[in-house]
Chains A and B, each alone.
Chain A
Amino acid sequence: DAGITQSPRHKVTETGTPVTLRCHQTENHRYMYWYRQDPGHGLRLIHYSYGVKDTDKGEVSDGYSVSRSKTEDFLLTLESATSSQTSVYFCAISDARLDDEQFFGPGTRLTVL
Chain B
Amino acid sequence: AQSVTQPDIHITVSEGASLELRCNYSYGATPYLFWYVQSPGQGLQLLLKYFSGDTLVQGIKGFEAEFKRSQSSFNLRKPSVHWSDAAEYFCAVGAGGFKTIFGAGTRLFVKA
Residues of A within 8 A of B (CB): 4, 31, 33, 35, 40-45, 48, 50, 56, 58, 90, 92, 97-99, 101-102, 104-107
In the bound complex, CA of A31 to CA of B49 (Å) = 18
Binds A, one of B14-22, B69-77, B78-86, B97-105: B97-105
Complex contacts, B96 vs chain A, CB 8 Å = 98
Are A41 and B104 interface neighbours, CB within 8 A?
A: yes
In the bound complex, CA of A56 to CA of B99 (Å) = 11
Are B42 and A106 interface neighbours, CB within 8 A?
A: yes
Interchain nearest-CB distance for B31 vs A (Å):
9
Complex contacts, A104 vs chain B, CB 8 Å = 43-45
Q: Which of A43, A50, A92 has the most CB of B within 10 A?
A: A43
Decide if B67 is an interface residue (CB 8 Å cutoff): no
Q: With A42-B90, A58-B99 in contact, is A107–B43 under 8 Å at CB? A: yes
Are B104 and A102 interface neighbours, CB within 8 A?
A: no
Count residues of B near A (Cβ-Cβ below 8 Å): 23
Q: What residue of chain B has the Cβ atom nearest to residue A31's Cβ?
A: B98
Q: With A106-B42, A107-B43 in contact, is A101–B98 under 8 Å at CB? A: no
Q: With A58-B99, A97-B97, A97-B98 in contact, is A42–B46 under 8 Å at CB? A: no
Decide if B32 is an interface residue (CB 8 Å cutoff): yes
Are A101 and B43 interface neighbours, CB within 8 A?
A: no
In the bound complex, CA of A102 to CA of B94 (Å) = 11
Are B98 and A42 interface neighbours, CB within 8 A?
A: no
